[in-house]
Structure 1
Amino acid sequence: MPILACYSDTDSGRAAIRRALAEAHKSQDSVLVANLDKEPITETQLGIDLDSLLDLGVPLSVLPPSQTVHDAADFVLQTEQEHDISLIVLGLRRRSRVGKLLMGSVAQRILIEADCPVLAVKANSL
């Protein structure tokens, strides 16, 4: 069963990719990357060497941004159901109380509503 990495073009998004790859290497799983940004992802943005993945034997594929689901949490939760995900890895960043109140929290929704385990990582954790 694949591991789902939640990607955004931030340090915490890249940390989620690296941790998902490490978990997939341990469990012999593949990695699906949920692109939560609206722009396509380049290899440089991912912060990993895709050639080194071949050496590790970790298949990685990037899901395109959803054209029908515009909420990032809904996209992740829908992907979890459609692909029978075994683990969701997402990056966390510090936000102020006001920021949480006004913007809501994608990470909080995923943590609460996901049916599979969720691993939250900080940008400086790897």
Structure 2
Amino acid sequence: MTIVVGYVPKPEGRAALRAAVEEADLRDQPLYVLNTSRGDAYVDPTFAPAEDLAEVRRILEESGVPFELEQRVGGRDGADEVVAAADRLGASLIVIGLRRRTATGKLIFGSAAQRILLDASCQVLAVKAGEADGPG
């Protein structure tokens, strides 16, 4: 089995990565880290730049946890990509980061985290960012 983490270059993404590494080590399972962009905008704050991915790779290599790191452009949105990857890999767990949103914000824009929680066929661990995860 595998643990899937949806990574974004924000504090909630760093928190998800940290928690996923801990879970992968605890469960003795490999980690699949996915960063996506639909590619339909010139600037996508969820798409990790090369230097950020290099830092993620360094963290993963230092952890000693077996991993695969993938960055996808085009296709479905991030929530759909994470759920599809978990299904494809037969994941035991999906790890996602949460950010605080107002009730109005959730109503108007929806929530990728909510869609993952509802659509995933495996357990989902949702974590909040802390001070160690840095500024957004």
TM-score bracket, normalised by the shorter chain, equals: 0.7 to 0.9
User: Following the alignment from structure 1 to structure 2, what is the Cα–Cα distance between the partners of residues 66 and 85?
Assistant: 22
Equivalent residues in 2 for 1:11-26 (5 A)? Answer: 11-26=11-26
User: Following the alignment from structure 1 to structure 2, what is the Cα–Cα distance between the partners of residues 78 and 98?
Assistant: 28
RMSD over aligned CA atoms reads 2.0
Asked if 1:38 is matched to 2:47, the reply is yes
Structure-2-length-normalised TM-score: 0.79
- Give the paired residue count: 121
Asked if 1:52 is matched to 2:59, the reply is no
User: Following the alignment from structure 1 to structure 2, what is the Cα–Cα distance between the partners of residues 89 and 125?
Assistant: 19
User: Following the alignment from structure 2 to structure 1, what is the Cα–Cα distance between the partners of residues 128 and 74?
Assistant: 28
- Answer whether contact 1:15 1:125 (CA < 8 A) is retained: no
Structure-1-length-normalised TM-score: 0.85
- Answer whether contact 1:14 1:47 (CA < 8 A) is retained: no
- Match in the other structure for 1:63: 70
Asked if 1:107 is matched to 2:113, the reply is yes
CA 120–47 in structure 1, closer or farther in 2 if over 3 Å, else same = farther
CA shift, 1:66, in A, is 4.4
Aligned with 2:5: secondary structure? strand
- Runs of 4+, deviation exceeding 6 Å: none
Asked if 1:28 is matched to 2:33, the reply is no
CA shift, 1:68, in A, is 2.2
Q: Any unmatched runs of 5+ in structure 2?
A: 37-45
User: Matched residues, percent identical?
Assistant: 40
CA 67–123 in structure 1, closer or farther in 2 if over 3 Å, else same = same
- Answer whether contact 1:18 1:48 (CA < 8 A) is retained: no
